[in-house]
Amino acid sequence: MKSDVTYDLLIIGGGISACVFASKYLKNNISKKVGLIEIGRGLGGRSSTRISKKYKGWKLDHGSPNFNISNNKNNLLLKRYIDELLENKYIKKDDSEIFFLNENSNLEKIKKSEFSRGVNYLSLDSMSELSKKIIESNKSNEKIDFFFETLIVDMKFNDKEWLLTSKNGDKFKSKYLICATNLLLHKRSLKILNVDQIPLRKAIPIKNDKKIDLLLNFLGEQTFIPRLTFLIYTNQNYSYKDYYSKKQRYFYLKNNLEKKYRFERIIFQLQDNNKLGIVVHSKNAEFINSYINAKDEEVFKNKIITNFNKLFEQNSLIHKLTFDEKISIMKWRASQPSGLAVPLSLQFSKRYRIGFCGDWFEGDGFGRIEGSILSALILENKIKDSIK
């Protein structure tokens, strides 16, 4: 047993939805014993920051670089929470330049992406720090036992409590369980966790709980968009052609251009030491496969720079790269859910004392941070009276 304690509540996942949920829950339940289990080395999940050990001084947001709230007019819960983050100075309105590159690689300034609709917000520090600050608000981090680098592969419910087992054989017990990830609920777990049954299905066999059956059916229809992110550590003197000094600058590629260059979006990220980092996103299936099958990673990296230079050849703001930049590549197997969203009515099973949150629930924010935050707030509201 990892610890002898039976937790009042265990949270699996350390992404932004887990952090929002934990901080709100602990604010209202100060005396509860809470644990958080995360396979990564820190918080943030898909909105986290790569702090390179190899290339010192670089902090690049390699998942979501910022976030947008497309619609908070009808949702007071979300509006109040965003106001709270603004008041605490964890985030600010993102007034960075956003460009859409059209067919001729010309610049257009119209917000057309799902990632830029509505109001955009930027973490005042990095994206990982945002999750950290959220969980540290109200000092809730001091009340949580954190278990990092711990991968849950098995879950059991014995009518009284949940028993979780990690890949290393550590055991955790808790009265209530929150899954702030859907990995343990989805068929992709079979391959990733090397198990022969979806862990939640194994824990709660079919026809025991209608809600859980429906939840698993919905997830059976959910797929995920894989993405690559290329982190480019530019040379000492690399800069813009103009005097732009804000933290980020975004370039989105419109359809045909995305097909041609295989890039979806390019985000320039100014570092504390004034160096200019570049993060390039790609969701082009052919490009992803050519990376997976690449015999020589250097050849693939050269292709990235070649495409970048061609794209910005005539551009009045962006200099070309020189081919001696360092690049690291992050492969996101499941960067974003797609297909069927799960109804929020299936978020909590009282009988099995289990709740779920994340960007995979229905609503305007499906597949984005907006959805993660909102689902965590709604879940916390739903269960606060149930957990005694």
Distance in angstroms (rounded) separating the CA atoms of residues 357 and 371: 9
Distance in angstroms (rounded) separating the CA atoms of residues 192 and 31: 36
Contacts of residue 213, Cβ cutoff 8 Å, sequence gap at least 6: 206, 207
Minimum distance from residue 365 beta carbon to ligand FAD (Å): 7
Minimum distance from residue 96 beta carbon to ligand FAD (Å): 12
Phi, psi of 354 (to 5 degrees): -135, 140
Minimum distance from residue 104 beta carbon to ligand FAD (Å): 25
Query: Per rule CB under 6 A, is residue 211 in the interface with ligand FAD?
Result: no
Torsion sign across C-alpha atoms 236, 240, 244, 246? negative
Instruction: With beta carbons less than 8 A apart as the criterion, state whether 174 and 4 touch.
Output: no
Q: Which stretch binds ligand FAD (CB under 6 A): 82-90, 289-297, 298-306, 366-374?
A: 366-374
- Please give the residues from 180 up to 199 whose contact with ligand FAD meets the rule CB under 6 A: 180-181, 183-184
Query: Per rule CB under 6 A, is residue 275 in the interface with ligand FAD?
Result: no
Of residues 24, 281, 301, 353, which one binds ligand FAD by CB under 6 A? 281
Minimum distance from residue 191 beta carbon to ligand FAD (Å): 13
DSSP 8-state class, residue 112:
-
Torsion sign across C-alpha atoms 129, 112, 268, 230? positive
DSSP 8-state class, residue 314:
T
Site string for ligand FAD, 217-236 (x = CB under 6 A): ----------x-x-------
Q: Of 195, 176, 198, give the one whose Cα is nearest residue 185.
A: 198
Looking at the Cβ atoms of 192 and 294, the one nearer to ligand FAD is: 192
CB atoms within 10 A of CB 325: 16
Query: Per rule CB under 6 A, is residue 151 in the interface with ligand FAD?
Result: yes
Instruction: With beta carbons less than 8 A apart as the criterion, state whether 287 and 258 touch.
Output: no
Query: Per rule CB under 6 A, is residue 101 in the interface with ligand FAD?
Result: no
Of residues 37, 178, 232, 257, which one binds ligand FAD by CB under 6 A? 37
Q: Which residues of 92-111 are buried (b: 16+ CB within 10 A; e: fewer)?
A: eebebebbbbeeebeeeeee
Q: Which stretch binds ligand FAD (CB under 6 A): 100-108, 169-177, 179-187, 310-318?
A: 179-187
Please tell me the count of residues contacting ligand FAD according to CB under 6 A. 37
Minimum distance from residue 282 beta carbon to ligand FAD (Å): 9
Query: Per rule CB under 6 A, is residue 13 in the interface with ligand FAD?
Result: yes
